[in-house]
Structure 1
Amino acid sequence: MRYAAIGDSFTEGVGDRLDDGTLRGWADLVAAGLAQSSAEPLYYSNLAIRGRLIAPIVEDQLEAALSLDPRPTLMTFNGGGNDMMRPGFGVERVMEYATQVADRCVEERVALVILSGGDPTERLPRGSMIKRRGDEFLEAVKEFALDRPEVTFVDNWSDQELRRAPYWSPDRLHLNALGHSRVAARVLTALGVHTELPEAGDAHVPAAGPVAEARYYATYVLPWLARRVARRSSGDGREPKYAHWSRIDPIAE
């Protein structure tokens, strides 16, 4: 199997940082799980870059993935989360790009999994606006997937458990290691590798007071706004973490 992942920070694995400083994330966990279930090596590429809007994901990463030699046998695609946080978001335009991904995967005979990200909006500034857009986007993707039997759709946005604070990083926007593990389990199960969903159990995150909220805005919100004003992205100058095929071997038991 040859698995290629395209997307933004969600697919890159932001929020799931290992002790050596490298990022892991749900896509890496899916690759490892598929290799383990087949008891054979798997070849894995992850072209996702944080901050990317859906247009460059499709226009740049899709064709780069399909140009890998040998061609992928499986692709995962997520995009649109960064678009939802910007003015002018339109579901119709985003779905045109999703259609392009599905059409190209059919042409190249690549199995496609489309997945939504988790819903972080309960604790985000302007969360109600993003929630409204996310719900609209979800309904469009669900309807699209019903008409495309060749597409596997994994709905993480509707996962009520995943909305809880213990699954999210301090920036409240990216999943932490537990959150990425839960998404990976959902994807693997959708691919026929039944995987138990990790749960936070009774983990409790204390309510943030005024000082903690001020620190949160200074650390995460204001820098994000500064990048928007400067028309910069957190992914500017970054390269994919696995631009070519990387071999993933099953772990001997």
Structure 2
Amino acid sequence: MEAQEKSLNKGRRPTLLYFALAMILIVIIFGLVKYAMAPVHKLAVWKQTQETIAVYDDAKLDSIQRLIAFRNALLSLPKKDSIHLIVNVPDSTLGLFINGVLIYNVKMTRMKLDPVLRKLPQSMYVQTFSKPLSVAASEASIVKEPIIEKVAPKTPEELTASVTSPDTLVHQPVFIRLITDNGIHFLITQNENLTSVDKKANRSFWRGRRMERAKSFFTAMVKFQPYEYQPSVILEANDKALTAIYRALPEQPKVVVYYE
């Protein structure tokens, strides 16, 4: 009797093992399908929420139509005294725009557009970028309005030192994320990480992004929901210029994007 029970137990173990492996394989395949279909689902959502705009189906006119979309987006910016962000990929510039005038810009040293945005159909591009994008959320490694406390100099030497000493607030590591209402993530970072503080801030910034995406993916799998794809635009420029740009922007600015 005992021999029969042992034999049955031995027979059950491989069966349970195969069943567990099969379930794991199904979950992995299910997750890969979810991940692969996420960009398609994102484009479908955009298509449902956008207005239909007439576009000429001619590759020769693509550049002109994108430039027109850029101009229309600039014209659509609020006319009140509010500063907005301009991302001009062909010129490699990141700038501030107010009342129809570009008041400040900086040369970007690196730009990386998400593959989904790069391969966006012409009609989808015009529908998406012919108007400004609204920033729904933002975060940064620097404070928006720094508090500066200064003590009046008591000697000529202290006065000279206070004037010539660099502003330490300006040189804080600059890592910024802007999330638009249609789900595009603008990841704006400084182009040099020379100090240990810079490198630590850089690792923390990108680790946070990876953990957030992983959490979103596993949550979607557990709840059997579509994984929300997050198309991103990575921009790099000088830290001082980025600090000035971020602190000049209002809490919820508009972003105008132009690329070819």
Both structures adopt the same fold (TM-score exceeding 0.5): no
**TM-score normalized with structure 1 length:** 0.30
**TM-score normalized with structure 2 length:** 0.30
Higher strand share: 2
